[in-house]
Chains A and B, each alone.
Chain A
Amino acid sequence: MIKTILELIRNLFKKPMTVRFPHESIEIPEGFRGEHAYEIDKCVSCGLCFRVCPNRAIEMIEAPEKHRDKYPKTYPRIDLGKCCFCGFCEDICPTDAVKLTKNVYLSTFDSKSVIKEPIEK
């Protein structure tokens, strides 16, 4: 019992283990697997990301009509709702067009916003 009381007193003078989110947040380290950043200008449309994706979250689609002159091939559309954030698309991409960022704030009420189009419509 004495040990328990001592432990309680010790805890009174300690800093809390948690941080006051959202005013403060824990730093996210390099190499974290968060939201994808895609650069269409680097993409060579090889489709490797589409073939390696274990959850089939990537689909190769054509660019919208107005961009088709500049981007005539097919480009990856990423469904974050299906994605398991394994980072295989980043690893296999020969031109570093797909990269995983540190962004973890992906909660949304809009189901359409989980789909990342290769180029804005």
Chain B
Amino acid sequence: MIKKMNEKNTTSYELLFGPAHPGSGNFSVRLRVDGEQVTSARADPGYLHRGFEKLMEYRDRMQNSILSDRVCVFEALNWNLVHAEAVDELTGEEIPEKARYIRVLMAELSRIQSHLIWYGATSMGIGFDTGFKIAFGYRDYILDLFELVTGGRVYPAGYICPGGVRRDLPDSAKDKIIHVLGKTREMLRKCESFEKTTLRHRTKGVGILNRGDALRLGATGPIARASGISSDVRFDDPYEIYPELDFEIPTRDEGDAYARCIVGREEIQESIRIVEQVLERMPEKKLEPIKPKLANKIPEGEVYVRNEIARGEAGVYMKSVGEETPYRCKIRGPSLLHMVPVLEHLLKGSQIADVPAIYWSLNICPADMDR
């Protein structure tokens, strides 16, 4: 925390929220404060830059799918999918039917666990530790599934790779997924019964983002949906097997931090519905594993692919000149617009005590913004 006292006015000073704040992640916001009120805020990103876009120019398609895990730690499988789809579109490769189902299954499980982190982090930010422990505790059941299917708890190591998936689902996976879905429902029930004590009081009416501002500032995903904009790439520009599935897009009109929490929770319910449908329709045929190949060239061309990940709209622009490695790969993370213009807009005029609630309700991830 930096304090700059103004000689004329001792109640106005500059406060640094992050990057060493326990609730900020690798990100910082400079707040101009007058008494308890924030008069202006300036986002200060760049603490987690790892240069993935440049690193991708030196690696082939399978090696890049490993890198795509790391774009956002909490949504590794979703980022795997965006990258794999970009390469698939360039190569024009036919993806086996079962691989498409597994891709959607894993992406939706990843969405659930990402929303659980969101819920947990928001709870922690406002001092509702019960919510934090419930969300992170139940998230571990989903990590157990990832461990079983991909071989790693957090990083799937490019499980969703160009051409399909690296290996088939194990035989015991279906029963375990059904068991975990039951556990997730149990968690949602617990959250609902606990949150009225703290979460609702601390987030209701806080950080209101109205529909016009959400559109103007480029909000996507659950943040836009909590402000009454019904937009979802899974509906607007469907990919994989989403057109065949029956699910709804939860929206709220309030636009406050509480509405964003509710949208997140309702999305978990919709994801559970999707996973159940996928499991029901999954083809029985055994899937051949995909192994890395050397000197596997990507055909010439350029492509932009967008997907709906838990935090919003994710995109990958890829240009290939016919070599093994892409000529250019641009990653569009949803957090950039949420962390800079939306956050600055919402923090202006708020109280210091509400800063963590607003900050975490935006479901932001410094990793996918800085890349």
Inter-chain contact A6/B193, CB cutoff 8 Å = yes
Task: Give which listed residue, A3, A28, A100, contacts B147 with CB less than 8 A.
Answer: A28
Inter-chain contact A31/B170, CB cutoff 8 Å = yes
A7 lies within 8 A of chain B by Cβ: yes
18 additional A-B pairs beyond A29-B148, A84-B157, A92-B294, beta carbons within 8 Å, are A1-B197, A4-B193, A7-B194, A26-B144, A29-B147, A32-B151, A33-B151, A51-B294, A54-B63, A54-B66, A86-B158, A87-B151, A87-B157, A88-B62, A88-B63, A88-B66, A92-B291, A100-B151
Q: Once the chains are docked, how many angstroms separate the CA of A91 from the CA of B291?
A: 6
Q: Once the chains are docked, how many angstroms separate the CA of A33 from the CA of B158?
A: 13
Q: Which of A15-38 contact B (CB under 8 A)?
A: 17, 26, 28-33
Q: Chain B: which residue is nearest A54 at the CB level?
A: B63
Chain A's nearest CB lies how many Å from the CB of B172?
8
A88 neighbours in B (Cβ, 8 Å): 62-63, 66, 292
The main secondary structure of chain A at its interface with chain B is loop
B59 lies within 8 A of chain A by Cβ: yes
Inter-chain contact B294/A52, CB cutoff 8 Å = yes
Task: Give which listed residue, A7, A85, A92, contacts B152 with CB less than 8 A.
Answer: A85
Residue interface mask B54-80, A partner, CB < 8 A = 1? 000001001100110000000000000
Chain A's nearest CB lies how many Å from the CB of B115?
19
Q: Once the chains are docked, how many angstroms separate the CA of A20 from the CA of B196?
A: 32
Residue interface mask B28-61, A partner, CB < 8 A = 1? 0000000000000000000000000000000100
A48 neighbours in B (Cβ, 8 Å): 294
B348 lies within 8 A of chain A by Cβ: no
Chain A's nearest CB lies how many Å from the CB of B9?
44
Task: Give which listed residue, B157, B193, B194, contacts A33 with CB less than 8 A.
Answer: B157
Residues on A facing B (Cβ under 8 Å): 1, 3-4, 6-7, 17, 26, 28-33, 48, 51-52, 54, 84-88, 91-92, 100
Q: Once the chains are docked, how many angstroms separate the CA of A111 from the CA of B167?
A: 33
Q: Would you mind naming 6 contact pairs between A and B with Cβ atoms under 8 Å apart?
A: A6-B193, A7-B190, A31-B170, A32-B151, A88-B292, A91-B292
Chain B's nearest CB lies how many Å from the CB of A6?
7
B289 neighbours in A (Cβ, 8 Å): 91
B155 lies within 8 A of chain A by Cβ: yes
Q: Once the chains are docked, how many angstroms separate the CA of A77 from the CA of B237?
A: 47
Q: Chain B: which residue is nearest A48 at the CB level?
A: B294
Q: Once the chains are docked, how many angstroms separate the CA of A32 from the CA of B146?
A: 10
Query: Which of A1, A29, A30 has the largest count of B CB atoms less than 10 A from its CB?
Result: A29
B137 lies within 8 A of chain A by Cβ: yes
B158 neighbours in A (Cβ, 8 Å): 86
Inter-chain contact A29/B170, CB cutoff 8 Å = yes
Q: Once the chains are docked, how many angstroms separate the CA of A96 from the CA of B68?
A: 27
B157 neighbours in A (Cβ, 8 Å): 33, 84-87
Chain A's nearest CB lies how many Å from the CB of B1?
33
Chain A's nearest CB lies how many Å from the CB of B276?
23
Chain B's nearest CB lies how many Å from the CB of A67?
29
Query: Which of A29, A54, A100 has the largest count of B CB atoms less than 10 A from its CB?
Result: A54
Chain A's nearest CB lies how many Å from the CB of B163?
13
B59 neighbours in A (Cβ, 8 Å): 54
Q: Chain A: which residue is nearest B193 at the CB level?
A: A3
Chain A's nearest CB lies how many Å from the CB of B34?
37
Q: Once the chains are docked, how many angstroms separate the CA of A84 from the CA of B193?
A: 41
Chain B's nearest CB lies how many Å from the CB of A29?
5
Pairs A-B, 9 closest by C-beta atoms: A54-B63, A3-B193, A86-B157, A33-B151, A91-B291, A29-B148, A88-B292, A7-B193, A86-B66
Inter-chain contact B66/A32, CB cutoff 8 Å = no
Q: Chain B: which residue is nearest A93 at the CB level?
A: B291
A33 neighbours in B (Cβ, 8 Å): 151-152, 157
